[in-house]
């Protein structure tokens, strides 16, 4: 009996030892794989419709050509050629082009763009911000860097408008100076035809140059810079500036492509600037309708095309026109009493009587 128990104990001990040995030699089970985490989708690329870039280029091209109009005229053909250059914009598309150009300028500010792109990384926030901007363009001013992006718009478009305005002042002055030449007093040939031409040009949207479109397209999507230096400009901003910031923000959110053009056109409307440009055109038509000699056409060109259009854009940007010099003082008329007093003062007093 003792032998059986001893054998049982030995067998049990051996089994336990073998089990321990097997457990020690076996490898542990592999760890569970980590959970698969889906990376968030990347934000959409910066998108600015080619149509918007073409409008921006057309606006920029007109402002460059208008500012280059010379104030030196030697014949009527030169005047008519300059009238065609100045009249060649349609107010609505011109205004849309100004807003589109403002957007391209705002996209040159890296702080503004990166701030908008932070929102673009979250799909829900991106869609909410897009809806907010379309309903109220002022939402674009909440982004960091909007003040320096606004400074780019104000300085660039304001300076372009000032150049056109100053060119107009020089042309307007030449309308008086040129009257010394006999040819300037001759009547314009086909006055009705040149008025009709001005109206046709005023109803035809200006065209962009392909080379300039490529430059602005690259600049608006993070490519070649326009080489501008941002300047902080405090609010409040004029509507064209706000709308330019809004379109730029939509572009950085990936929402300023061809599929949103209709909504962007509605967003770009600024009644104040639109009325200003339309009034400049109306005054031009009225001026040309009554102008007869060449020097009067020069006046119409200087005042109602260049000066009025330039002033509209300076105001639209929130910039300032230079103060006008005060008029020369008029000689003060001598009153009747002063004349009488002067005569009395000049008369010799009678000699005193001798006592």
For the segment 148-206, what is each residue's pLDDT rounded down to a tens digit?
999 999 999 999 999 999 999 999 999 999 999 999 999 999 999 999 999 999 999 98
pLDDT for 39 equals 61
**Percent of the chain whose predicted confidence (pLDDT) is above 70:** 81
Q: What is the pTM of this model?
A: 0.81
For residue 275, give Cα distances in angstroms to 115, 211, 241, 252, 281. Answer: 34, 32, 17, 30, 10
**Side-chain half-sphere CA neighbours of 202 within 13 A:** 22
pLDDT band of residue 340 (cuts 50, 70, 90) is very low
Please tell me the predicted confidence (pLDDT) of residue 331: 65
**Using one digit for the tens of pLDDT, what is the confidence trace for 114-149?**
999 999 888 999 999 999 999 999 999 999 999 999
How far from chain centre, in Å, is Cα 61?
Answer: 13
Which pLDDT belongs to residue 223? Answer: 72
Work out the mean pLDDT of the chain and round it to a whole number: 87
- CA 82/CA 71 separation, integer angstroms: 10
DSSP structure string for 134-158: HH-GGGGGGSTTHHHHHHHHHHHHH
Q: Name the 3-class secondary structure at 226.
A: coil
- Tell me which of 199-208, 224-233, 262-271, 338-347 is least confident: 338-347
What is the pLDDT, as a whole number, of residue 322?
A: 86
Token pair of 151, please? Answer: 């400074």
What is d(CA 242, CA 233) in angstroms, rounded to the nearest whole number? 12
pLDDT tens digits along 67-93: 999 999 999 999 999 999 999 999 999
The phi, psi pair for 187, rounded to 5°, reads -75, 145
């Amino acid at each position: 009996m003792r032998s059986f128990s001893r054998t049982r104990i030995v067998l049990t001990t051996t089994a336990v030892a073998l089990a321990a040995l097997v457990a020690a030699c076996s490898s542990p089970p592999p760890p569970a794989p980590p959970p698969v985490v889906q990376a968030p989708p990347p934000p959409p690329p910066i998108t600015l419709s080619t149509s918007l870039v073409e409008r921006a280029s057309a606006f920029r091209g007109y402002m460059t050509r208008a500012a280059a109009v010379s104030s030196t005229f030697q014949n009527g053909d030169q005047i008519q050629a300059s009238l065609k250059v100045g009249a060649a914009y349609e107010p609505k598309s011109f205004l849309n082009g100004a807003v589109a150009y403002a957007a391209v300028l705002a996209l040159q500010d890296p702080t503004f763009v990166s701030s908008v792109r932070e929102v673009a990384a979250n799909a829900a926030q991106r869609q909410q911000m897009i809806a907010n901007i379309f309903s109220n363009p002022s939402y674009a001013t909440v982004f960091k860097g909007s003040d320096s992006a606004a400074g780019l718009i104000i300085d660039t478009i304001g300076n372009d408008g000032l150049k056109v305005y100053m060119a107009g002042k020089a042309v307007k002055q030449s309308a008086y100076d040129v009257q010394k030449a006999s040819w300037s007093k001759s009547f314009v040939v086909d006055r009705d035809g040149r008025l009709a031409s001005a109206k046709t040009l005023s109803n035809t949207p200006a065209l962009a140059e392909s080379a300039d479109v490529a430059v602005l397209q690259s600049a608006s999507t993070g490519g070649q810079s326009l080489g501008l230096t941002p300047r902080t400009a405090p609010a409040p901003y004029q509507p064209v500036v706000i709308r330019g910031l809004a379109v730029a923000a939509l572009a950085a959110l990936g929402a300023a492509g061809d599929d949103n053009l209709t909504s962007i056109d509605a967003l770009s409307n600024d009644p104040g600037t639109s009325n200003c440009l339309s009034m400049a055109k109306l005054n031009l038509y009225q001026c040309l309708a009554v102008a007869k000699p060449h020097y009067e056409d020069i006046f119409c060109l200087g005042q109602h095309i260049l000066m009025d259009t330039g002033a509209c854009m300076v105001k639209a940007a929130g910039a300032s026109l230079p103060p006008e010099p005060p008029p020369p003082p008029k000689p003060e008329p001598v009153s009747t009493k002063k004349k009488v007093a002067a005569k009395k003062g000049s008369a010799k007093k009678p000699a005193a009587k001798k006592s």
